[in-house]
Structure 1
Amino acid sequence: MSADTLILVLAIDRGVGPEPLTLHRTKAAVPFGGKYRVIDFTLANCLHSGLRQVLVLTQYKSHSLHKHLRDAWSIFNPELGEFITAVPPQMLRAQEWYAGPFDAIRQNRYLIERNRASQVLVVDGGAIYRMDYAELARSHAESQAPITVAMRAVPGAGSATQARLTLDAHERITEILPPTCQGQDERADPGAEDAEHFESMGVYLFDKDFLLQELDRIEVGARPDQDLALDIIAPLVSEQSVLGYRFGQARGRVTPDRYWCDLATVDAYYRANMQLLRAEPPIDLYQADWNIHTYQGQYPPARTVPGPATGTEGVFVNSMLAAGTVISGGGVNHSILYPCVQVKDGAIVEASILFDGVQVGEGAHLNRCIVEKDVVIPPREQIGFDPKLDRERFTLSEEGIVVVTHGVWD
């Protein structure tokens, strides 16, 4: 199965997603869940599905992503034909960047041609979900369709945030329509599977020969190239058999929690992280045979200690603390702290997400904040309580989440 499938992971977004978190990194490299990067979920799907020929197509502010791929994902054995390789634009025929997902595939045609795989799986590296791609490949082979589109059930016809799919009685796609709304997320209602409202997940399996034929047939610039489902596959529905594959089936080796989130906005990103703190989170990160692989620095254990000035015990409640974090006389409640965060004496962190190396000064108070990597919060600073003041200094989302980046106190 591994040798028969080549995977192209699209990680070329120009900041589309939870801005301003994508100001300095591509969406696939955005931190998630206290220790991961977004792309880890897609790559973990490849790993556990036994599909280990992976090309990650990169472009927009890709240094952070390339570093993460090097540090976290240099685990495959090239002697066995396994690889995870970053592929920025090679400009073999023209001095051009990737103009969109289909153009990115076109520019790497030579990598597809010389690979022995008979099918090509194209996936979005900017979504959070767990899926057995091997089961998708089996379903694709059984159907003998040239294209299979993974789809998920959504609660109603008016809630789709991705391309909407219409099916016939044989699960063939008869129409692909634009989304009806933007900026939502996340989990399909498990009871909605019978409602016959589906949307694309950004996962497409092509027969290799058919894909190469389409690369020849569709001229550069002949169609818009922003979304594979809408711009490339939709015009083919009337000409070809395009199969819809239902996400969250009983077949496959991953618990069918049916969770999928594209992190389209800051609010969607914040909600997806906060959901991990529920007693029963909607996505199971603790399934022993489907762990999410990532890079972990060699940091000391997280700990709480009394504050040096007050002697107050450091405490945390219903929170995630990564390695190297120290709560020194401060308090953390319902929050996610990445590695090496410091919460100083008397500081309070509530319902917030603090990236690597953040320091919260003595007596500071944060509420419903996302704080960028290595930001130092001054002592006694108050953030998340005065929307007018927060908007003047930081980015404030539609739902009132404060995103704190560098530059305010530098």
Structure 2
Amino acid sequence: MLNTNTLAIILGGGQGTRLYPLTESRSKPAVPIAGKYRLVDIPISNCINSEIKRMFVLTQFNSASLNKHIKNTYHFSFFSSAFVDILAAEQTIGNTTWYQGTADAVRQCMHHFVRHDFDYALILSGDQLYQMDYNLMLEAHVQSGAAITIGTIPVHANDAPAFGILKADTDQRITSFIEKPATELLPDWTSDVSEEMKAQGRHYLASMGIYIFNRDLLIELMDDKSTVDFGKEIIPQNIHKHKTMSYPFEGYWTDIGNISSFFEANLGLCDEIPKFNLYDKNNRIYTRARMLPTTKISGTKMSQAVISDGCIIHAASIERSVIGIRARIGKDSVVRNTYVMGSDYYETLKEIESNNIDILMGIGERCHIENVIVDKNCRIGDDVTIKGGSHLEDKETDTYVVRDGIVVLKKNAVIPKGTVI
């Protein structure tokens, strides 16, 4: 099979400032998603489902929780060559800097990669939500005789300036590429896309940040230390030097770049038929097996609610919300359009009494929580009202941040009884 000679390299990204405060104490790939997973579970699961079982995850910011998650999650047989290894930025005699960009991250870790036998390097992003069979992309890469293949997706004109946009000929060979084009340049960058994409107004081919490189070419390109980024330098400089192909993908894909896209991606799971299918037995999403108890719900009216394991819920109603593991929601509380990440552990009665804990972990009684992201281990007192919306301006306090009308409670935040936001 093709993939036996493929090495996957998952890029953990930079500081994740646009996802702050979710990235205040964790790296982007470690951000909890869909109530029980982490972002990094998505590309790793796609690899496992594609029978690619040699993976490196490159990271440099707040990597402790990511290390712990991967160490506790991905265990392969002793008799297998499969692995998921984390490579954090490290200073060496030959290099004393942190990763300067996506290509520089790969360059600094090349000495780890070349120890392995592989023909193709599959380079992935650690902060995207999608399900994809990489074998189909690898087959297209090999059959076309390409040196580089780029995963592409048609996007709307209003989204195009945020991406690398390319044009390809009828054989899918890339002829031109521009990184994050200005709006006035867009009329020159439309592509011939499928009828379905045309009907949706998606006329621009965007790079998904998914690349396949032939081994020898990747090694050659990494020798040039003047290039630090794939999208800004490596791809534009090489599309005419080496055969570079587009691999069009038309399934669900979203780049979790900021708070609003993260929020929408999570609440989208509450739809009757979600665009991201967690129930596809052929495309399972793997994560840590926690052995949690079942969720207990008393007297709660629910509509379009996604509830994870180990929750204790007495709320009046939960509507279009994702409730994460070990979440506790008190009596007569209303939760609407909200992502509650849950808790890392349960508090025992003994701990509550001995530590004189006044506000329990979770959401108290008679609260109204709407358009909110509640990070892990938050304590929300009784009679608290938090209503996000367009009426709120962006701001930051010690316990919460407002971004695009979404209120994000910081990890471990304590919200006193009766607070109104």
Contact 2:300 2:315 in 1 (8 A): yes
Distance across 2 between alignment mates of 1:57 and 1:207: 19
Match of 2:246 among 234, 238, 244: 244
Secondary structure of the residue that 1:94 maps to in structure 2? coil
Gaps of 5+ in 1: 183-187, 249-257, 306-312
Q: Would you say 1:94 and 2:100 are equivalent positions? A: no
Contact 2:120 2:212 in 1 (8 A): yes
Task: State the match for 1:36 in structure 2.
Answer: 37
Secondary structure of the residue that 1:334 maps to in structure 2? strand
Contact 2:269 2:306 in 1 (8 A): no
Q: Would you say 1:288 and 2:290 are equivalent positions? A: no
Gaps of 5+ in 2: 184-192, 344-360, 417-421
Match of 1:325 among 303, 308, 311: 311
Distance across 1 between alignment mates of 2:121 and 2:91: 22
Task: State the match for 1:139 in structure 2.
Answer: 140
Match of 1:268 among 252, 261, 285: 261
Q: Would you say 1:401 and 2:406 are equivalent positions? A: yes
Distance across 2 between alignment mates of 1:45 and 1:36: 14
Counterpart amino acid of 2:407?
A: V
Distance across 1 between alignment mates of 2:240 and 2:393: 54
Counterpart amino acid of 2:383?
A: R
Contact 1:369 1:401 in 2 (8 A): yes
Counterpart amino acid of 2:125?
A: D
Q: Would you say 1:363 and 2:363 are equivalent positions? A: no
- CA spacing shift, 1:78–1:181, aligned 2, 3 Å: farther
Distance across 2 between alignment mates of 1:390 and 1:247: 35
Counterpart amino acid of 1:337?
A: I
Counterpart amino acid of 2:401?
A: T
Deviation for aligned residue 1:273: 1.1
Task: State the match for 2:204 in structure 1.
Answer: 197
Task: State the match for 2:170 in structure 1.
Answer: 169
Task: State the match for 2:295 in structure 1.
Answer: 302
Task: State the match for 1:255 in structure 2.
Answer: none
Deviation for aligned residue 1:95: 2.7
Counterpart amino acid of 1:72?
A: T
Distance across 1 between alignment mates of 2:303 and 2:90: 49
TM-score, normalised relative to structure 2: 0.85
Task: State the match for 2:381 in structure 1.
Answer: 378
Task: State the match for 1:103 in structure 2.
Answer: 104
Contact 2:153 2:205 in 1 (8 A): yes
- CA spacing shift, 1:388–1:179, aligned 2, 3 Å: closer
Distance across 2 between alignment mates of 1:169 and 1:108: 36
Distance across 1 between alignment mates of 2:333 and 2:15: 36
Deviation for aligned residue 1:350: 1.0
Counterpart amino acid of 1:298?
A: M
Distance across 2 between alignment mates of 1:288 and 1:121: 24
Distance across 1 between alignment mates of 2:388 and 2:121: 50
Worse-matched range after superposition: 295-304 or 59-68: 295-304
Task: State the match for 2:217 in structure 1.
Answer: 210
Deviation for aligned residue 1:336: 0.6
Alignment deviations for residues 312-345 of structure 1 (CA, whole Å, 9 cap, x no partner): x233222011111111253212111101111111
The count of aligned residue pairs is 382
- CA spacing shift, 1:304–1:79, aligned 2, 3 Å: same
Counterpart amino acid of 1:26?
A: S
Deviation for aligned residue 1:172: 1.0
Deviation for aligned residue 1:90: 3.5
Task: State the match for 1:10 in structure 2.
Answer: 11
Contact 1:155 1:189 in 2 (8 A): no
Contact 2:292 2:309 in 1 (8 A): yes
- Identical aligned pairs, as a percentage? 26
Counterpart amino acid of 1:80?
A: S
Distance across 1 between alignment mates of 2:392 and 2:171: 54
Distance across 1 between alignment mates of 2:396 and 2:78: 51
Worse-matched range after superposition: 388-397 or 30-39: 388-397
- Superposition CA RMSD, Å: 2.4
Alignment deviations for residues 96-140 of structure 1 (CA, whole Å, 9 cap, x no partner): 222221111111222222211111111111111111111111111
Secondary structure of the residue that 2:127 maps to in structure 1? coil
Secondary structure of the residue that 1:351 maps to in structure 2? strand
- CA spacing shift, 1:327–1:407, aligned 2, 3 Å: closer
- CA spacing shift, 1:32–1:180, aligned 2, 3 Å: farther
Counterpart amino acid of 1:214?
A: L
Alignment deviations for residues 276-330 of structure 1 (CA, whole Å, 9 cap, x no partner): 111111121111111101113222111112xxxxxxx233222011111111253
Alignment deviations for residues 185-236 of structure 1 (CA, whole Å, 9 cap, x no partner): xxx99821696520011110000001111112x12xx24x3x4122211111
- CA spacing shift, 1:65–1:279, aligned 2, 3 Å: same
Secondary structure of the residue that 2:100 maps to in structure 1? coil
Counterpart amino acid of 1:285?
A: L
Distance across 2 between alignment mates of 1:63 and 1:369: 26
